[in-house]
Homo-oligomer: A and B are copies of this chain.
Amino acid sequence: MPRGDSGMKIQEIKEEDLNPEEFIEQKVWEISSTVGDHEAINALSGGVDSSVVTALGHKALGDRLKTYFIDNGLMRDGEPERVASLFEGLGVHVEVVDAKERFFEALRGVRDPEDKREAITRAFYRDVFGDLVRRSGIRYLLQGTNYTDVEETVAGIKRQHNVLEQLGIDTERRYGYKVLEPLIQLRKPAIRKLARALGLPEEIWGRPPFPGPALAARVIGEATPERIEIVRRATRIVEEELSGLRPFQCFAILHEDRVTGMRAGRREYGWQIEVRCWDSEDATTASPTRLPYETLLRLADRITGEVPGVVSVTYNITKKPPSTIEAV
């Protein structure tokens, strides 16, 4: 069983055991009493975890919660605008920070998946968020770390970007702020239940998971602005074609390997996009969705037709395990 920041064991609360109203009341109290008269800061990505944390924090602290959307240049098409306007509609002011250049600078020349994660984590916590916190003087960070993040990181399956204290990283000493993690006992289904109870719209609680390193996790090799743009376009097509089927998760991956294709009767050495679409309950195991061939062929037609340089599309047919949901 994973241990929390004070070395205490973290006890999972399963979806069926979660009383959302009591849990919300408890967490609002914890946040209020920890932060006291001070302000807290949090980063909203639009994912269900950070959205629930934003709603809880706003409930506890009102305008004393400063919510930032860090535009790292690795988001999906139109995502920064969509998320900010959705929360504005709920009465929560979201400050969008353009940090694209700093992230791409941090990612320059980085090819190894773990190094990419690390570069993004560092750019986020130390540089961009560190700056925000230092300038603001705010000493409390609310964060949506969940039970699966901790578990997978501790087990060595995947180093989640938001797991810090569980790895012995003292954020107060290292980054100058204290991290509050109200969702650390919950997995995704419980967090979704909470999102509904908090009155968040389906766009939030029905939203498939999206990785911390965002589209950088969907590019094999270096995540340059050009390569992120290719996978962003392919991702939009995949979501347009598959979201209606409500899979657990579906996305596009840009490979670094190049393959031969042909256009107008001539050889073209181009890119390959891999599509993954998963059936799963909670991401611990997963199977490829049995998409009809009409859908697969239309995906390939659209991606090769609409995304410049892409000549080949594959569909992943492996279960998790031995695959993982994401490729990197």
Contacts and interface: CB of A to CB of B under 8 A. Distances in A.
A288 interface: yes
Contact of A262 (B296, B314, B320): B320
A304 B328 contact: no
B313 A316 contact: yes
B322 A261 contact: yes
Interface residues of A, number: 51
A262 B157 contact: yes
A318 B321 CA distance: 26
Interface string A308-320: 0001111111111
Interface stretch (A163-171, A226-234, A265-273): A265-273
A290 B301 CA distance: 16
A300 B268 CA distance: 29
A11 interface: no
Contact of A324 (B158, B260, B300): B260
Contacts of A269: 113
B317 A297 contact: yes
Interface stretch (A78-86, A94-102, A141-149, A251-259): A251-259
B220 A257 contact: yes
A304 B257 CA distance: 20
B327 A260 contact: yes
Contacts of A274: 314
A221 interface: yes
A299 interface: yes
A220 B327 contact: no
Interface string A177-221: 000000000000000000000000000000000000000000011
B318 A313 contact: yes
Contacts of A255: 255, 257
Contacts of A270: 322
Of the listed residues A313, A318, A324, the one surrounded by the most CB atoms of chain B closer than 10 A to its CB is A318
Which 7 A-B pairs give the minimum distances between C-beta atoms? Answer: A314-B314, A296-B317, A259-B327, A300-B318, A290-B293, A220-B257, A300-B317
Interface of A: 113, 155-158, 220-221, 255-263, 265-270, 274-275, 287-288, 290, 293, 296-297, 299-301, 304, 311-324, 326-328
Given A300-B317, A300-B318, 8 more contacts: A155-B265, A156-B267, A275-B317, A288-B297, A311-B318, A313-B317, A314-B316, A314-B318
6 contacts: A157-B262, A256-B256, A262-B323, A274-B314, A297-B317, A301-B319
